[in-house]
Amino acid sequence: MVTGPDHILRLIAFGLGGLAALAAAFEFRDAVAPEQAPASVTEPADDPLRATLRRCRALDVGEVETDIVCREAWAENRRRFFAPGGSGSGREEE
């Protein structure tokens, strides 16, 4: 491999280009606006199934398998979701 002045200058140029790209990445990392969370659908506060499902999501897999209330809640949620003519959201239409 030949290490002449042209080769050394080329290596220096690539190194400076890499440093410039790295500095730009750090500079623009904070400049990008954070993504906004999608608008959440308001859930009815009086739906006990939603509250039960929320509690069951926090459990471990083994705990959910032995928790009869959680298993019944998930079955009811599936029934609502797959019901013919249902809204598909798991909630009953008013």
- Using 50, 70 and 90 to split pLDDT, how confident is the model at 1? low
Question: Could you tell me the pTM of the whole model?
Answer: 0.43
Q: What average pLDDT does range 86-92 have in this prediction? A: 51
Measured CA to CA, the distance from residue 84 to residue 86 in angstroms comes to: 5
- Residue 42 confidence (pLDDT): 58
Please report, rounded to a whole number, the percentage of residues in the chain having pLDDT higher than 90. Answer: 28
- Residue 28 confidence (pLDDT): 84
User: Residue 73's CB: how many other CB atoms inside 10 A?
Assistant: 21
CA–CA distances in Å: residue 42 to residues 47, 48, 74: 12, 15, 20
Residues 14-56: pLDDT tens digits? 999 999 999 998 888 877 656 665 555 555 667 888 989 998 8
